[in-house]
Amino acid sequence: MFEYLPFEQSELPIRKTFEVSGQDFEFELSYTEETNVYKMILRDLQGELLYIAPLRYFSAWNSIPIVGFPNNVKLVPIDLDDFNSLELNNEINPSNFGSKVKIYLMEESNVS
């Protein structure tokens, strides 16, 4: 079973605290209907901003190293059913976010 950050479309915008690799972090997630953009903000528990970026389907949200966040964990929004397909025909939208598309924690064992 894959781990994911349990966000639901109906609760946006929201801030939640999750544990990643034994450390707690605050994640703030919002959706802008006009542009169909999901934005996620990462903070430490002292409220210090660590990173902010939009979510893109099947692309690591934290594709660059983030000071203070485990570099071996990538946060990837995807519908796991796409792993069985040769084509990625999906996107993140209000009808699938939280139900089919989730933000999965993909651990890279070879990254330090």
How many CB atoms neighbour CB 1 within 10 A? Answer: 3
What residue spans define the domains of the chain? 4-107
| 86-92: Cβ within 8 A, 24+ apart | 88/57, 88/58, 90/57, 90/58, 91/57, 92/38, 92/55, 92/56, 92/57
Query: What is the signed CA dihedral for 56, 91, 111, 105, rounded to 10 degrees?
Result: 110
How many helices (H) and strands (E) are present in the chain, helices listed first?
A: 0, 7
Per-residue pLDDT tens digits for 57-93: 999 999 999 999 999 999 999 998 887 776 666 789 9
Computed over every residue of the chain, the mean pLDDT equals 91
